[in-house]
Amino acid sequence: MLANRLSLASSTTRCVLLATSQEATTTTTQTRQMGRRQPKQGKPPILPPSKKVLYHVVHAPWQKPEDVEELLWRRHAYNNAVISLREVFRAEIAQNASHGQGIEAMKEAEAVELDELIASNEKRNEEKRAARAAMEEEAAKETKAVILEEIRVELEKRNVEKKAAEEEVRAAISRSDGFVNRENLETKILEALEKPTIYDFAIDRAGNKYYVPEPVKYQEGTPTRQKGRLYDQTLGTQHGTMEEAHGRQQQQQSL
């Protein structure tokens, strides 16, 4: 009996609780900022991720103790390997640093070596310069000798030419006795007037010269019969040079 009562009471309380909770949910969904449409399910983009995602706790599935032990052992082995690697690398870095310790001294030795090499090069340059100066001096001497020889030859040649010219001038002076000068100018003019040189002649292909009769200063006797045909052979023109003609005339006169 007692048990029945208790069960009844509990069932009634449950019903009451259910009714009250249903009432509360219906009031909130209908009253709180309800628009015309139902909002879409899910999170608006500007909001932080939901609590469910942020604080997700991983619950690894149950594993066998042997597996866990094996994995833990592997993790330890891996960590130990990394530690030993670090040790190896540290040792290598220290060794490399010890390699670089003597570099400064080596650089100084290099500078000294370079100075020596440059000095030896300077010495070599100096020797070559001296040798070249001597060679150039020798070449200058040779050139000077050649130039002097050329000058000597040229001077001799000019002397010879000068002597020849002097000889020529002397000969010309000696030939100049019959030349016209101030003193004998009048007589020479008179001579020329009295005995003119006649170049009035004809010449044929064989080289024979045909003179006209010697011109006369003053017209004497009968004038010439023909004037237009002076070189007509029928008129008895002279044949040969004027001198020959003169000679012929003189022969005729002497005869």
Partner 1 sequence: MPFMHGSMPIRRTFFYLQQGKIKFRDNVNVFAMGFHKNPTEGRTGARDFVYWHWAQLQYHNPKVQLVKHVDKVITPFGRAYLNDGREVLFDFDGLTREEIEQTLATTLGKTELVKRREHLESIAKMNPADFGSKNERQCMCEVQGQHPCTGLLRAPSCMTGKSRWNHNLI
Could you list the residues that contact partner 1 (CB under 8 A)? Answer: 58, 60-61, 81, 84-85, 88-89, 92-93, 96-97, 99-100, 102-103, 106-107, 109-110, 113-114, 117-118, 120-122, 124-125, 128-129, 132
Q: Both tokens of residue 255?
A: 């005869």
Question: Which residue's CB is nearer to partner 1, number 3 or number 60?
Answer: 60
Q: Do residues 237 and 213 touch, judged by C-beta distance below 8 A?
A: yes
Q: Do residues 238 and 210 touch, judged by C-beta distance below 8 A?
A: yes
Mark 207-243 as b/e (b = at least 16 C-beta within 10 Å): eeebbbeeeeeeeeeeeeeeeeeeeeeeeebbeeebe
Question: Which residue's CB is nearer to partner 1, number 129 or number 157?
Answer: 129
Q: How far is the CB of 100 from partner 1 (least distance, A)?
A: 3
Q: How far is the CB of 126 from partner 1 (least distance, A)?
A: 9
Question: Which residue's CB is nearer to partner 1, number 78 or number 231?
Answer: 78
Q: Say whether 16 sits in a helix, a strand or coil.
A: helix
| Other Cβ atoms closer than 10 A to 245 | 19
d(CA 7, CA 59) in angstroms, rounded, equals 40
Question: In Å, how far are 16, 17, 27, 254 from 23, measured between CA atoms?
Answer: 11, 10, 6, 197
Question: Which residue's CB is nearer to partner 1, number 89 or number 231?
Answer: 89
Question: Which residue's CB is nearer to partner 1, number 119 or number 148?
Answer: 119
Helix (H) or strand (E) holding 243: helix 242-254
Task: Determine the residue type at 228.
Answer: G
Residue with the two structure tokens 């070596």: 113
Question: Which residue's CB is nearer to partner 1, number 55 or number 199?
Answer: 55
Question: Which residue's CB is nearer to partner 1, number 106 or number 147?
Answer: 106
The alpha carbon of residue 200 and the mean position of all alpha carbons in its chain are separated, in whole angstroms, by 77
The alpha carbon of residue 207 and the mean position of all alpha carbons in its chain are separated, in whole angstroms, by 74
Q: How far is the CB of 106 from partner 1 (least distance, A)?
A: 4
Q: How far is the CB of 76 from partner 1 (least distance, A)?
A: 15
Q: How far is the CB of 56 from partner 1 (least distance, A)?
A: 9
Task: Determine the residue type at 67.
Answer: D
Q: How far is the CB of 137 from partner 1 (least distance, A)?
A: 15
Q: How far is the CB of 124 from partner 1 (least distance, A)?
A: 7
